[in-house]
Structure 1
Amino acid sequence: MTLQSLKYRTLTPEGRKQTKEDFRIFFQLVDNDLKSRYSGSAFGIIWAYIQPLVTIMVFWYVYQVGFRNAPVDDVEFILWFIAAFIPWTFFSDGTVTAANVMYEYSYLVKKMRFKVWQLPFIKVFSSLRIHVFFVVFLTGMYMLYGHAPDWTWLNTLYYSFYICVLLVGNAFLTSSLTVFIKDASQLINIVMQIGFWLTPIFWSDTTMNPTVLRILKLNPMYYATTGYRYALINHTWFWQRSPLQTIYYWVAAAAILAIGSLVYRHLKEHFTDLL
């Protein structure tokens, strides 16, 4: 969109009307995207919430009831676990579903007037809707276990935004590459499985060898998962973390976004020929 067209939309009634229509269509696509994932099932979109909840319940029963794991960081194991598991689920779901978005919406990609760059955002917002529910569920679990709400819990919004930036960059990159490399989506699934264990979900800094920990901290999702724990357990604001660490992770997120956008811009003109 050029600066002139942006001014037109901002200053004229016709432009504002068109912008509102674009937003309406976008959020309608987000809504339809969630419904289409489970269109053939009896419970429909409810499965998007049931599956992670069942996973959490299984971990709760196995580790809290069965193995009776000791508290971690002075909180019950299940609370410590889900504080990192829920942001990881958001990141993993958004990354995996975005990889095939060009194929899934190939009929829109081939439409000359459709803004194809919106498709990765549709997948990110679709995953974000589910994540909002689980953030509410997460805070509810903490209150259920007797933890009083604290203003620092609002940090979850900040870290969710950080994950969104990562997801948009990933979505542009993976969705573009998948058009040319059909097996890319399978590789992404494998990377997510490995990434689960490289992210501090089942482990903490104190359980890791210092040398190994320095390597694992290069993982951009380290910042988000530990951030949720800092907010909910340690009541630490994001600006109270190491400034150098914060700068590194935001530079990494910006780099992923820039690379993803660059790859998309260079490959988009070939999408219609390959889909």
Structure 2
Amino acid sequence: MKSALTVLNEQIRNFFLARRLSLYEFRSAATGSYLGAAWEVINPAIQILIYWFVFGFGIRQREPIGDIPYFQWMFSGILVWFFINQGIMRGTKSVYSKIKMLSKMNFPMSVIPSYVILAQFYPHLILLGLGILVLQFTGYPVSVYYLQLPIYTAILLVLLLGMTLITSTLATIVRDVQMFLQSIMRMLLYLSPILWPPTLLPESWQTAVKINPFYYIVEGYRYSLLGEGWYFLENPVYTVYMVGVVLILFMIGSALHVKFRSQFIDFL
């Protein structure tokens, strides 16, 4: 608990610094190419079309998910997955790839994963805005249920910070963690109900799927963007579980980070 409070205090005190660094990170990623930041939208768009063709036309043969066409169902869920994937992967390698910045700037190491995650949040907002326009013109207009989106976004940001505090610490000590995690994230895309509905599984297995915290975020986005209802209110037990998982991961990540950060330089 003490470590969690330490890291939380560091995040609050250095919030504006993290915001400035995240903007620099976002802009620097766009340099060196003609299309610049447009690639943050082009790459996801290409992947969405591929998934739609393979799963929508090939495997499911354009069958809807309940009353929702497959494209809109898949599209509303996968929008947040790109942020999850990039946030975890880049946050994991953030400490050992950017620790040299500490020799030029004086700020806590726990700020490094947070500003890297925040840098990935900007493309997510751009993609989300374009996604809302697509849904608007395909039969799913903006509704009052959009008001719950900030809840899932806030939960996701804390979840990503907690997870990357863990993974960035482990990846700094053992670099193989980065490659292992990359394989895990690829598997999670196909094992999580993002491209296929959980109703395809036996009922007993559907409960097991909900152990995956990303499922809650994806479904929350779907309920919001497709106007299906108030997900966090309709699933109160699952919401409490999710908050508990986020807090536990943040405390574990904080404890690991605070314990080993004085030794990070020895592993570089």
Normalising by the smaller structure, the TM-score range is 0.7 to 0.9
Shift of 1:65: 6.3
Q: Which residue in 2 is equivalent to 1:165?
A: 158
Alignment of 1:98-109 (within 5 A): 98-109=91-102
State how far apart, in whole Å, the 2-side matches of 1:106 and 1:209 are: 47
Whether the 8 Å contact between 1:60 and 1:78 is mirrored in structure 2 is yes
Residue 37 of structure 1 pairs with residue 29 of structure 2: yes
How many residue pairs end up in the alignment?
255
Q: Identify if the C-alpha distance between structure 1 residues 87 and 177 changes in structure 2 by more than 3 Å, giving closer, same or farther.
A: same
Which whole-Å deviations, capped at 9, do the CAs of 1:44-70 have from their partners, x for residues lacking one?
332222110111233345555677512
State how far apart, in whole Å, the 1-side matches of 2:46 and 2:105 are: 43
1:267 to 246, 260, 263: 260
Whether the 8 Å contact between 2:172 and 2:264 is mirrored in structure 1 is yes
Which whole-Å deviations, capped at 9, do the CAs of 1:23-42 have from their partners, x for residues lacking one?
55432311221233344333
Unaligned ranges ≥5, structure 1 = 1-18
State how far apart, in whole Å, the 2-side matches of 1:226 and 1:23 are: 29
Whether the 8 Å contact between 2:143 and 2:227 is mirrored in structure 1 is no
Q: Identify if the C-alpha distance between structure 1 residues 261 and 147 changes in structure 2 by more than 3 Å, giving closer, same or farther.
A: same
Q: Identify if the C-alpha distance between structure 1 residues 239 and 183 changes in structure 2 by more than 3 Å, giving closer, same or farther.
A: closer
Amino acid paired to 2:166: L
State how far apart, in whole Å, the 2-side matches of 1:129 and 1:112 are: 23
Whether the 8 Å contact between 2:220 and 2:232 is mirrored in structure 1 is no
Shift of 1:212: 1.9
Whether the 8 Å contact between 1:109 and 1:272 is mirrored in structure 2 is no
TM-score normalised to the size of structure 1? 0.85
Q: Which residue in 2 is equivalent to 1:247?
A: 240
State how far apart, in whole Å, the 2-side matches of 1:175 and 1:242 are: 32
Whether the 8 Å contact between 1:59 and 1:78 is mirrored in structure 2 is no
2:172 to 168, 172, 179: 179
Q: Which residue in 2 is equivalent to 1:78?
A: 71
Range with bigger deviation, 165-174 or 202-211: 202-211
Q: Which residue in 2 is equivalent to 1:16?
A: none
Q: Which residue in 2 is equivalent to 1:151?
A: 144
Whether the 8 Å contact between 1:102 and 1:175 is mirrored in structure 2 is yes
Which whole-Å deviations, capped at 9, do the CAs of 1:209-256 have from their partners, x for residues lacking one?
122222211000111111122223353113422211111111011111
Q: Which residue in 1 is equivalent to 2:8?
A: none
State how far apart, in whole Å, the 2-side matches of 1:255 and 1:85 are: 26
Amino acid paired to 1:210: E
2:113 to 113, 120, 123: 120
Q: Identify if the C-alpha distance between structure 1 residues 69 and 117 changes in structure 2 by more than 3 Å, giving closer, same or farther.
A: same
Amino acid paired to 2:108: K
Whether the 8 Å contact between 1:159 and 1:228 is mirrored in structure 2 is yes
State how far apart, in whole Å, the 2-side matches of 1:123 and 1:247 are: 28
Whether the 8 Å contact between 1:109 and 1:271 is mirrored in structure 2 is no
Q: Identify if the C-alpha distance between structure 1 residues 207 and 243 changes in structure 2 by more than 3 Å, giving closer, same or farther.
A: same
Compare relative contact order (CA 8 Å, sep 6+) and give the higher one, 1 or 2. 2
State how far apart, in whole Å, the 2-side matches of 1:125 and 1:195 are: 22
Shift of 1:115: 2.0
Residue 26 of structure 1 pairs with residue 24 of structure 2: no
Whether the 8 Å contact between 1:178 and 1:184 is mirrored in structure 2 is yes
Whether the 8 Å contact between 1:87 and 1:160 is mirrored in structure 2 is no
Shift of 1:80: 0.2
2:183 to 165, 186, 190: 190
Kindly, what percent of the aligned residue pairs are identical? 24
Whether the 8 Å contact between 1:26 and 1:122 is mirrored in structure 2 is yes
State how far apart, in whole Å, the 2-side matches of 1:268 and 1:121 are: 15
State how far apart, in whole Å, the 2-side matches of 1:210 and 1:64 are: 23
Q: Which residue in 2 is equivalent to 1:4?
A: none
Range with bigger deviation, 243-252 or 25-34: 25-34
Shift of 1:135: 1.6
Range with bigger deviation, 187-196 or 138-147: 138-147
Amino acid paired to 1:27: R
Rg bigger for which structure?
A: 1
2:134 to 136, 141, 145: 141
Q: Identify if the C-alpha distance between structure 1 residues 252 and 37 changes in structure 2 by more than 3 Å, giving closer, same or farther.
A: same
Q: Secondary structure at the match of 2:216?
A: helix
